[in-house]
Every structure is written in C-alpha cells, then in structure tokens.
Structure 1
Amino acid sequence: MEDSEVFTMCPHTRHISCLYPEILALIFSYLDVRDKGRVARVCTAWRDAAYHKSVWRGVEARLHLRRANPSLFPSLVRRGIRRVQVLSLRRTLRDVVCGVPTLTSLNLSGCFNVTDEGLNTAFTTECPSLTHLNLSLCKQITDNSLGRLAQQLQNLEVLELGGCSFITNTGLLLIAWGLKRLKSLNLRSCCFVTNQGIAYLAGQNQESAEGTAALEDLGLQDCQKLSDEALRHVSMGLHNLKSINLSFCASITDSGLKYLARMPNLREINLRSCDNISDIGVAYLSEGGSRITALDVSFCDKIGDQALVHISQGLYTLRSLSCSACQVSDEGIHRIARTLHELHTLNIGQCVRITDKGLQLIAEHLTHLSCIDLYGCNRITTVGLERIMQLPRLCVLNLGLWHKR
C-alpha cells in the first residue's frame, strides 16, 4: 500500500499530536530550555512528553528563589533535573538540597547572601550525589563552611572558591582531610592562602595525610602570597595534576618552573602576568615538559624571542600558545612556525614587533591554526592579513586595534 493511501484512509495520523510520546520526547529534547517549557503548556499529551526525563538530560535549572513555590522542586525531580544554578536567594538553601535529593551540581556563584550558617543548615546530612559545587564570589564564606563540606560532601569532584577572600590555609587543610575525590579546585584571589595551604593539599603534612591526590585542575590565579615553594609542594604531591593557573602570582619565578617541568602529567600552564618569569623559565619547561599542550605567558615582559626558540626545541606537542604583549618578533615566529605543526591557537596580540613577514611564516607553516589573536599588532597590513585568512582551518581572527594601511 502506498503512503498516500494510508494518509487518505487515516488523515488524522498526519498531525504531530498523534506521534508516540517517545517520539515527541525525542523531538522536544532538541529544543532550548525556554521552548521545552513552552511546549509543556500546549496540551496534556505534549506536557506528558515534555516532562520525560530524556528531554531534560543535562539541563541546568536557573532559579530565582524568592518566595515559596510548593510545585517547583517536585517539578524538577519529575523531569530528572539534577543540576541547579541559584541566581538569587531569599529563601533557605536547605529547600534546594532537600527538594532535589539527587542533586549532582549546585551553582551559587555570585549569591552574596550565602553564609556559613546557611551552608551548615543546608548540609546537615551526607549528599553522596553532589559532585560539583560553585561558591565563587560568595564573599561571606569562611573556613567554617569548608569543614561542613568536607564532612557531608565527600564525593565532591569540583569545588569553585574563586573570590572567597576569607578562605585560609585552615580551610585547605579541611579540604585535604575530607575531599579525597576532588579533581578540580579554584582558589582565585584567595588572598590568605600561602605555601603552607598548598602543602596541605599536596599531602606534605601529617595532618592532611595524602591530601587531594586525585586533583587534576588547580586554579591559583592572583594568590599573591604563593612563591616557588608552593610549586615544590605541588610537584611532590599532586602527581595527577593536568592543569595549573598561576596568572598574576607575582612571586613565582623561573626557579619555580623547574618543579613544574618534572610533572609528566601536566598539560596546561597559565603564567599570564607573572612578572618574574623570563626566557630562562620557559627553557626549564621546554627541557622537561614535552607533553605540555597549552602555555600562556602573556604580559610577561621578560619573555622574548629566546623563549620561542626554547619552545621550538622542546614543546613539540603544544596546541595553544599565548604570548600577547611579549617582546617577540618575526624571528621568534620563524622558529615556532617550523616546529609547532600541531598548533591550533596562537595569541600574539599587542606584540608590536610582529610584521607581515611573521604572518607570512604563520600562513605557510601553521596550517592547523584555527584561532589567532592579532589585537593591537599595528605593524601588520592587509597584505599579511590576506595570507592569514587563507589558512584552511581558521575560524577565529581577532584584529581589535589593528589599523588598515
């Protein structure tokens, strides 16, 4: 029987409402979050299909918790939503934790009224499903909260504490004691954290036992009290570390990079605006860090062409290199262009010594390049840009302050 005959005999089967709920749910799963909610209000059949858990898989609910809403949390549970971001909070945090007992991710970033008392009240029992917690910019949080988290959230894998300026070494000791499964920790701008706190994390102290040995990603941006000793602790205890952010850590020197060069699993290093890093430090990394895939030395004014020479001789697997505002020229570009064949991202913005010659070398040799930053490179012309734009995989080109000539 032809399809046309079926439709003639059963014309109502053409309507989307007659599709099986499983098929409707599959269709709805491709909608954005707002439209998922809208289709649920069309009719009963669509509502039932739209509330299927497969439609909401991986969705993060973004909530303003201002007044009581008895149906909110049962609705989240019914849809299988396990990730919640609280945009504003005027109710107790315990409502969220108890209302969604299978919660895996809780984002409280920027909720300035979150306090130690609020967290202690919320986490009175163990929450084994919670693996991601973001407390960035929750500025009232202190070490007291970390003690409670270490007790009740022992399966936590990701903890964001950026901007929590009251956190001290004691808090890191509590983390090292209780959060053994932690893989990612962000301590950006935790100004009271010192080398001793990093020693706790690395298990270099009897009180912290093994520390956070599973840690893979460590953010120490703008932790001004850290020195090379902190990197010694890291190299001795955090053997699984893959990424470290040391940007704006002004006391880190070339000598500290010797320790990082010894870490075979380290893949990404951010040294942006580390004023005491020079070509020598990059040489240390190049001697021992052949597995590094991403390096950022932007705004390190002691980095020049010699650093690129070292990189070209040792960091063959580099896929992302950022040296914006460094003292590099076409000569340095010449060295890396002939060896870093896997490079995908190159940020050389505000490198005012780069000319069309450098761009020509990039276009000829770095054929895998997909992203390049030329912001503020005012010695390049349309001739060089035309060559760059012929790169077969280029999809991001930042020109910024470039002036056409």
Structure 2
Amino acid sequence: MFEMETHISGLFPEILAMIFSYLDVRDKGRVAQVCAAWRDASYHKSVWRGVEAKLHLRRANPSLFPSLHTRGIRKVQILSLRRSLSYVIQGMPNIESLNLCGCFNLTDNGLGHAFVQDIPSLRVLNLSLCKPITDSSLGRIAQYLKNLEVLELGGLSNITNTGLLLIAWGLHKLKSLNLRSCRHVSDVGIGHLAGMTRSAAEGSLSLEQLTLQDCQKLTDLSLKHVSKGLAKLKVLNLSFCGGISDAGMIHLSNMTHLWSLNLRSCDNISDTGIMHLAMGSLQLSGLDVSFCDKIGDQSLAYIAQGLYQLKSLSLCSCHISDDGINRMVRQMHKLKTLNIGQCVRITDKGLELISDHLTQLTGIDLYGCTKITKRGLERITQLPCLKVLNLGLWQMTESEKVR
C-alpha cells in the first residue's frame, strides 16, 4: 500500500504533480483516493493531457469520469463496480480500453444499459471472471463495438457456441480472443469464428491470438477449422485441452503465420504429434509441451529436424533424457529459453551438452531435476548470456551468478 506524509497536501499543485509523476499507474490510482487535491495532482493536466493511462478504480464514482475525459485518459480498469456501468461509458465518450475483470456483480442487464449505441473508439474489453455474463451480452458487444480488437472472456462459463456466432457476425476487426475455461464452447463455435458457417456469419478472420485453454469440448475438428479459416493466427493456446490429439497437429502443421503454440497438459499429444508439426511448414518461435507425458526423446529429434528455429521450448515433466538432449542441441542455435523442470532423467551430462551447444540461452528451468549436481550447475552458469537459472522457488539472477 502506498504511504505518504499527509502534510505534503499543502504543497503547490505543480510540486505535488511532479512528485506523483514518479509513481506507477497503480499507485497513482491509490493516491487519487486520498483527497481531491491529491487526485488533481496525481492526474495533473500538464502531465496527463493526451496520454493513454490506465486508471485503477475501486468504485465507479460518476462525478470522476468527465474529469478523466478532459485529462485525456482513455484506458480504465474498474476493480469494483458499485454504480451502473453506463456512468463510465457516458462520462468517457472516447474510451479505448475498458477492463472489468473480476467485477462479479456485472450482469447482462447492466452491460445492456451501458452499450446502447455505437462506441467506435473502444478497442479493448476485458470481461474475464464476470461470471453472470451470457451470450446476450455478446450480442450487445457485437452490435455496438464493431471496432473491438481485443476481447477477454476467460472464465465465463455461461458463454456458448451461440455467443461465438454473434462474435463472428459482428466483430470482424477482432485480433485477440480469450475463451479460457468457457466450458460450453465446442467445435461448432470454433467453426463460427473461422467462417465455416458463412450463411450466418462471416467469421472473425483477422484473429491473430486465440486462447482456448481448458475448453474441454474441443476436438481435432476445431483445429481443422482453425487451419482453414484463421490463416492470420500467430498465437494459439490449447493448454489443458484433453480432447485434441496427434491427428490435430496435421492441421496446424502448415499454418505459416503461427509462431507460438501452447500444448501444455494436452494428454493425447505424443511424439507422433511433434513429428507432424516438424514435417510441416511451421516457423514456430515458441512451443510448450510441458506435462505431456507421452513426449519423449524422439520428439527432441523431430524438433531438431523441423523446428530448429525455436527460441523458447518448454518440456517440463516430459519423459526426456540426456540422449534426447544430445539429439537436439546441435541444431538449436536460436534457443534462448529452455524449461526442463521435473525432467528427472536429466543428469550432469545433459547440462554439459546444453552448456556446450546452446550458447544463446538466457534462461533455463531446472526445478525438480533431481539427478543434477553442483558440477552440472557450474557448467550451466558459465553460459555467456544466462540471466535466469530456476532451481526451485528461487531464481539465480545474473548478479548472483557472478558471485
């Protein structure tokens, strides 16, 4: 919690503004709650005019928003919504980013009263964990927020395929969509997004980032839809999607714009799936297959053959050994981050291979690697670019490495 002597309230506003200018955004929000003088100094016009700043509010005070508008503030995060959301929208006609994450009392009715006309300036909307929100709200969003580029819906368990149809119908400029733990979303909904039902909706074909983490109803058919309709996709998160398998990797293997793929805890992905990815035309920069217990040394050979451009690779708790490390490291010259925590078959020999060949590494995770010793760690710490070494609940920073 930010603390400051209250006697400085009597200082000239310009001096207060100068002092508060050194605070980060969150602390400015806290300072603004102390008194009117601090609020005005914290968001002094000379400092904030025309600047895109986030404001963290614990309650929506209707008298505050017109003042924020005149100061040029366009991005707002509301931590607790005690007034109607319409106060925010009415008071900030040029709002660009609205973060309502965790506002548990926000309902379809409240959102419906707020979105009653076009809001062309709004680009980012975060409704994550606003549990009561349903497809009805997505209809409002699709109707009035046509220029939306980022939509966060993580944890909204009442969203269904119908809601995705509404998104595909109205949000053609959408670039990032988060559907984490939307348990009712299935292949049909992903088909809507990918434009597979053009008679009803064109689709959100401009998507570059799609998070489908923990969407348990998805199967390989969703990946087929994604590969056919979402050609611009760059980041795809499928972690904890137990319904996808190796066969689905065939569909993803030729998505030439895809550079980050997260398959963490996808239980049905094995060495065969990695083979499919490596044999395609992917140019992946990041790959996470941590906790896929069917991934072994053969996957590392496939990665070295077809995914050697990777800069980040996560293999935590996979069944890999020093032999797999040996088959991979000579080709992975661009690798900067390697996570092999809880890979209990890795020994000092594996660390020696890593230190000899992966000279660009800036970070490595060795948490839970029980067969490594001080000798192996000494070799790793000699890597010229290493900044972070994770051995557990603490990290060895570059300064500590020197010591």
Normalised by the length of structure 1, the TM-score is 0.88
Q: Aligned to 2:132, which of 131, 140, 152?
A: 140
Q: Provide, for residues 267-289 of structure 1, a one-character-per-residue CA deviation record: whole Å limited to 9, x for no partner.
A: 11100111100001001101114
Aligned to 1:377, what secondary structure does the other structure show? coil
Q: Report if the CA contact (8 A) 1:176-1:211 is conserved.
A: yes
Deviation at 1:52, TM superposition (A): 2.2
Q: Match of 2:363, as an amino acid?
A: C
**Within 2, Cα distance between the matches of 1:35 and 1:119?**
27
Q: What is aligned with 2:5? A: none
**2-structure distance, mates of 1:108, 1:42:** 25
| 3-state SS of 2:214 partner | coil
Q: Percent identity?
A: 59
Q: Pairwise mapping of residues 213-228 of structure 1 onto structure 2 (< 5 A)?
A: 213-228=205-220
Question: Which of 254, 276, 300 pairs up with 2:246?
Answer: 254
* Cα distance, 1:106–1:43 mapped onto 2, change above 3 Å: closer
1:193-342 aligned at under 5 Å gives the runs: 193-342=185-334
**Correspondences of 1:11-26 after superposition (within 5 Å):** none
The alignment partner of 1:387 has SS state of: helix
Structure 1 residues 114 and 356: CA distance shift in structure 2, 3 A? same
Match of 1:107 in 2: 99
Q: 2: distance between equivalents of 1:261 and 1:84?
A: 39
- CA-CA distance at 1:28 after TM superposition: 6.6
The 5-angstrom pairing of residues 6-405 of structure 1 reads 31-33=23-25, 34=27, 47=41, 50-52=44-46, 54=48, 57-65=51-59, 68=61, 70=63, 72-400=64-392
Residues 290 and 316, structure 1, Cα contact 8 Å, conserved in 2: no
Q: Give the aligned partner of residue 9 of structure 1.
A: none
Q: Is the 8 A contact 1:137 1:163 kept in 2?
A: yes
For the residue of structure 2 that corresponds to 1:190, the secondary structure is: coil
Q: Name the amino acid aligned to 2:329.
A: A
- Paired with 2:137 and 2:254, the residues of 1 have a C-alpha distance of 35
Whole-angstrom CA distance in 1 between matches of 2:393 and 2:349: 19
CA RMSD of the aligned region, Å? Answer: 2.6
What secondary structure is seen at the aligned counterpart in 2 of 1:65? coil
The alpha carbon displacement at 1:290 in A equals: 3.8
1:74 is displaced (CA, Å) by 2.6
In 2: Cα distance, 1:308 partner to 1:84 partner: 45
SS of alignment partner, residue 327 of structure 2: helix
Q: Distance in 2 between matches of 1:388 and 1:276?
A: 33
* Distance in 2 of aligned mates of 1:254 and 1:374: 27
Q: Are the aligned partners of 2:48 and 2:73 in contact in 1 as well (CA < 8 Å)?
A: no
Compare 277-286 and 327-336 and name the one that shifted more.
327-336
Letter in 2 for 1:336: M
- Structure 1 gap segments, 5+ residues each: 1-16
Aligned partners of 2:291 and 2:318 also within 8 Å: yes
Q: 1:117 to 1:357 in 2, by over 3 A?
A: same
For the residue of structure 1 that corresponds to 2:89, the secondary structure is helix
Contact 1:267–1:294 under 8 Å retained in 2 = yes
| Separation in structure 2 between the aligned mates of residue 73 and residue 313 of structure 1, nearest angstrom | 56
Q: For residues 337-372 of structure 1, give each alpha carbon's deviation from its aligned partner in whole angstroms, at most 9, with x where no partner exists.
A: 111111111110000000111111111111111111
Tell me, what secondary structure is at the counterpart of 1:88?
A: coil
Please report the TM-score for the alignment, with normalisation by the length of structure 2: 0.88
Q: Are residues 153 and 254 of structure 1, via their aligned partners in 2, closer, same or farther at CA, if it must alter by over 3 Å?
A: same
CA distance in 2 between partners of 1:331 and 1:295 (Å): 20
3-state SS of the aligned residue for 2:331?
coil
2:16–2:42 contact (8 Å) kept in structure 1: no
Q: Distance in 2 between matches of 1:263 and 1:346?
A: 24
Greater Rg by CA: 1
